[in-house]
Amino acid sequence: MNEWFKKIFGTIKEKWGKWTPLQKGIGIGIAVVAVAAVVLTASFSSRPATVRLFNAPVRDEAERDRIMFRLDKDNVKAYVSADGYISVDDESVAKRYRSVLISEGLEPKSMDAYSLFDVTRWSRNDFDDKVNWLRSQELALKSHLESLDYIQQANVNLTLPDETLFASEQQPASASVVLYANGSSGILEDKRKIKGLVHLIQRSVEGLKEENISIFDGATGSEINNFEGMAETDRINNIKKQQKLIQEQEVYYTREILKSLTKTYSQKRVGVVNMKIEMDMSESTTTAKEYYGVTIKPDNPNTPYDDSDIRDNLVLSEESVEKTFTGTGYNPEGPAGVEGQNPPVYSDMSNVIGTSKETGRKVNNALNEKNIVQKTSPSMGRRTVSVNIDGTWNRVYDETGQLRLTESGGIMRVYTPIPEEEIRKIQKLVEDAIGCDKARGDNVTVTNVMFDRTEEFQREDDAYRKAQQTKRTIMFSLIGVAVVLVAFILFRVISREIERRRRLREEELLRKQQADREAALWAAKEQGMEVTMSVEERKRAELQENAVAMAKEHPEDVAMLIRTWLMEE
C-alpha cells in the first residue's frame, strides 16, 4: 500500500513538473472551487431545519397573531409559512412553548387537542395496543408538564374507559397527577398557574372534564386544584386585602391632614391621635326612579342671581267635559205596539222629570324622568378623626435681655394655649381635608393638650448649661491670657528701666575714672613730669575715646562694650 501511494505521489509530482505556469494556475483554481463547494454543501446540510409548533396550520389570523405576539414577548424566533404553519428553531423550543401556549389558553381552538401533542394515533383493536396507547398519552402529558419551568417532576396516571354503545353507560375519563415543584416556584399559591395546569391536562386527553382531574403536591400530599376547599382561605385573604385597603386609606388621610396643618404649625406641634375609617366591602346595587321639573330657561352663569325658569310640570294636552240633561230620560219600549219590559216600579216613574249634570277635566303633564342604577363596592363609611395640637412655649427674659433661669438652673418657659377660635378653624380645615360628611356620621375632634416635652426641655437646658460653661471657660481663659500679657509687659518695662539705670551708673563710673585719669595727667604735665604711656594704656585710652564717641550715638552697644571691658578688668 505504501509503495502504491509513493507511486501515485511520484506520478503527480512528475506531471506537476511538466505543467506550464498557466496549467498550474488553472489546476489550483479548480481545486479551490471544489473545496469551497464541499464546504458550502456541508454548511447548508448541517444547518438545523425549523420545527413546526403545531402539526396543523393556524388559519385564523387573530389566533395566529396572539400566538406570534406571545412568542415575540419571550424573544422566540418564529416563522409562518404561506399555508399557515408556525415553526420555531428546534424541537426543545417547540416542545416547551407548546405547553406554555396550552397552559395560557392560546392554542388554536379549531385544532384537535390530540394533534397538539404530536402523538401518533394507534389502533384500538386489541389489548396491547390499548395499553400502549394509554402509556403514550401518559408519557406525552408527563413530558409536557415537566417542560414547564416551575415543574421539576410529574407523575401522571390516566384512566380511559372503553367506549360503550349507550352514552348513559359511558364512564368518564379521569386523570391523577402528582407534581413536584421547584423550590422557587409559587405554584401552590398561584391559582392562575393551577388553572393553567388543569387546562393543559384537560386539553391533553380527549373527553377529559375538569371535575375529573386531581392534581396533588408531591411534597405535602395536598390537592391543589380543589378550589371549593380553598373558599375559607380565599375569604381570609380577602379580609386581609380589605384591611390593607382600609389602612392605606387611613395613611392617605393622615398624610393629608398633616400636610394641611404643618404648613401653619410645626411638625412637632401636630399629632393625629386617631384615624378610623369604616368601609363596606359588600356589593350593593341601588335602583331608583327620580322625577324632576322641566327646565324652560337655564341659569345664566354671568349673572349674580339665579334667573333660571324651572317648572314642576309641562302641560302636553288638556280636555274639559261638561254635560247637562233634563227630562225623563230614555226608556226603551221595544217594537211598536209591544208593551215594554220595564218593571212596574220604573213604569210608575215614567212621567217623572229629572236633571243631571256631568263635569270633567283631563290634563296630561310632562315630567323629566331619570332611572338610576348604581352598583357600589366598596363604599366609604363613617370616618372618625382625632387631632391634638400643642400650644407654644416661650422663653422668659429679664429687663437686660438675659434668659431667666429656674431654681434648678434650667430655662424658664411659659406655655401659651391655642385660642378656641383658632381650634374651630383647625377643625374646619381637618373636615375639609378628609371630606367630612355629617350625614354619614363623620366626626372630627380637635383638642389642645400639652405635649410632654420633658426630655426635649432637658436636652435644651443641658445644651444651655454647656454653652454657659463654655462661655465662662473662654472668658476666664481670656482673662488669664490678659493677666499674663500684662505681667509680661510690666516685666519688660521694669527690666528695661533697671537696665537703663545700671547703664547710667556704669557710664557715670567711667566718666569719673576718665576724669581722674585726665586730672592726674594734667597735674603731671604742670609739674614738668614726663608721662609715658605703655602700648596697652595707649590702646585703652583710644578704646575709651571711641567708647565715649560711640556712647553718644549707640548707647546700648556702648553699654555692652563697657560690660565686656569691665569683665576683662
Question: According to the model, what pLDDT value does residue 437 have?
Answer: 82
pLDDT of residue 114: 45
φ and ψ at residue 339, rounded to 5 degrees = -70, 140
Task: State the average pLDDT over residues 130-142.
Answer: 77
For domain 126-227, which architecture applies? 2-Layer Sandwich (3.30)
Q: Considering only CA atoms, which of 356, 348, 305, 303 is closest in space to residue 329?
A: 356
Is pLDDT of 124 > 60? no
**pLDDT level of residue 113 (50, 70, 90 thresholds):** very low
Alpha-carbon distance of 258 to 436, in angstroms, equals: 16
Contact 194/215 with Cβ under 8 angstroms?
A: yes
What mean pLDDT do residues 45-53 have? 64
Instruction: Please check the confidence at residue 13 and state whether its pLDDT lies above 80.
Output: no
pLDDT given for residue 156 in this prediction: 87
Q: Which residue has the higher pLDDT, 233 or 68?
A: 68
Sequence-distant (≥ 6) Cβ neighbours of residue 178 within 8 angstroms: 154, 155, 216, 217, 218
Q: What is the predicted pLDDT for the residue at 568? A: 67
Spatial CA neighbour of 275 closest among 289, 290, 291, 257: 257
pLDDT above 80: residue 190: no
288 secondary structure, DSSP code? E
Q: Whole-angstrom Cα distance, residue 100 to residue 66?
A: 13
Mean pLDDT, residues 162-169 = 76
Average pLDDT value over all residues in the chain: 77
What lies within 8 Å, CB to CB, of 476 at 6+ separation is: none
> Please, which pLDDT band fits residue 116 given cuts at 50, 70 and 90?
very low
Mean pLDDT of the 13-28 span: 75
Distance CA 117, CA 201 (A): 11
Cell 366609604 belongs to residue: 380
- For residue range 287-335, what is the model confidence (pLDDT) as tens digits? 877 777 778 788 888 888 888 888 877 777 888 888 777 765 555 555 6
Q: What angle (nearest 5°) sits at the alpha carbon of residue 237, between those of residues 231 and 243?
A: 140
Mapped onto helix, strand or coil, the DSSP state of residue 336 is: coil
Query: What pLDDT is recorded for position 122?
Result: 44
Measured CA to CA, the distance from residue 393 to residue 218 in angstroms comes to 68
Q: Is the pLDDT of residue 171 over 70?
A: yes
Taking 80 as the threshold, does the pLDDT of residue 55 lie above it? no
Structure confidence by residue, pLDDT tens digits, 525-544: 666 555 555 566 667 767 77
pLDDT at 61 over 60: yes
- Which residue did the predictor score with more confidence, 548 or 498? 498
Written in H, E and C, the secondary structure of 180-222 is: EECCCCCCCCCHHHHHHHHHHHHHHCCCEEEEEEEEEECCCCC
Question: Does the pLDDT at position 547 exceed 80?
Answer: no
Residue 390 has pLDDT above 50, yes or no: yes
Provide the 3-class DSSP secondary structure of residue 108. coil
Domain-wise residue ranges, the chain: 6-45, 51-104, 126-227, 462-531
Residue 400 has what pLDDT?
Answer: 83
- Give CA–CA dist 50/67, Å, rounded: 17
Q: Comparing 513 with 480, which gets the higher pLDDT?
A: 480
Q: Say if residues 321 and 361 touch (Cβ distance below 8 Å).
A: yes
DSSP for 399-440, written as a single string? TTSPBPB-TTSPBPEEEEPPPHHHHHHHHHHHHHHHT--GGG
The gap between the terminal CA atoms of the chain, to the nearest Å, is 132
Q: What's the pLDDT at 273?
A: 76
CA angle 133, 197, 92 (to 5 degrees): 70
pLDDT(121) > 50: no
List all residues 6 or more positions away from 369 whose beta carbon is below 8 Å from its beta carbon.
Answer: 289, 290, 291
The predicted structure's pLDDT at residue 341? 66
**Band of residue 277 on the pLDDT scale cut at 50, 70, 90:** confident
DSSP for 362-397?
A: EEEEE-EEEEEEEEESSEEEEEEEEEEE--EEEE-B
Rounded Cα distance, 141 and 201, in Å = 7
β-partners of residue 61 are none
Contact 358, 323 (CB under 8 A): yes
pLDDT class of 243 with cuts at 50, 70, 90: confident
C-alpha cell at 186: 409559587
Question: Region 261-275: what's the mean pLDDT?
Answer: 81
Please check the confidence at residue 118 and state whether its pLDDT lies above 50. Answer: no
Cross-strand bridge partners of residue 79 = 87
Cell, residue 255: 398624610
